[in-house]
Amino acid sequence: MTDSIQSLENGLIVSCQPVTGGPMDTAPFVVGFALAALAGGAQGLRIESAPYVKAVRAATDAPIIGLVKRDLGNSPVRITPWIEDVEALAAAGADVIAYDATQRARPVPTAELVKRIHAAGKLAMADCSVISDARQALDEGAEMVGSTLSGYTGGPEPTEPDLDLISAMRALTPYVVAEGCIRQPHHASAALQAGARLVVVGSAITRPEHVTSWFRADMDEAMGA
């Protein structure tokens, strides 16, 4: 582990990923979200796309987990699917590169992605859906495993963090990242108690469109709309 990442004990990572095509999907907004999150106590950032990683890196030396999201026609894998994505994120200044570690059809084997991440001198974060993803990722050399994709590989999308998966991953490694459906402060504390070393919060902090929709849905339900 690099010194900057190793120091993140019980750390809060804020994912600054605006809604694609939304009014805040520009570099100045992403940088602003990142700096505001750090001012509020975040210890690191999760940033999507090499251009946004580069922009945020120019504004802060805080640890950055970088990723690229793509919609592929021949694979359900979206997070950092290509070697070119790894190389672009590394060049942009990411400290950690996150990738989809699920056992699904993909353009590049996960072991090859990890190998290229390490060749670039970066750490690998495996975004997992189930415990077998984490086991395989650790066997392939990933330094960190996250609950990022739990519930996102089929069926209805979850609304609560997968504390059971976090606990199971902690039995494999201390470097567990809780991510996904961390919408309330008590979700973050519960994730730490379940064994997470780091907690990633995204939409609840940096996607006002999503947060507004949560309030709207509850109010509509209350009024019988």
Each domain of the chain, given as residue ranges in start order, spans 8-222
225: confidence class by pLDDT, cuts 50, 70, 90 = low
Residue-wise pLDDT tens digits, 155-181: 888 889 999 999 999 999 999 999 999
Strand blocks (E) in 101-208: 123-127, 144-146, 176-179, 198-201
Cα dihedral 163/169/171/173 (nearest 10): -130
- pLDDT at site 95: 96
Cα distance between residue 221 and residue 106, in whole Å: 40
4: confidence class by pLDDT, cuts 50, 70, 90 = low
Cα distance between residue 198 and residue 205, in whole Å: 16
Let me know if domain 8-222 sits in CATH 1.10.357.10.
no
Residue-wise pLDDT tens digits, 32-65: 999 999 999 999 999 999 999 999 999 999 999 9
Quote the mean pLDDT of the chain: 94
With a cut of 70, say whether residue 7 has pLDDT above it. no
Whole-model pTM: value is 0.94
Cα distance between residue 115 and residue 83, in whole Å: 10
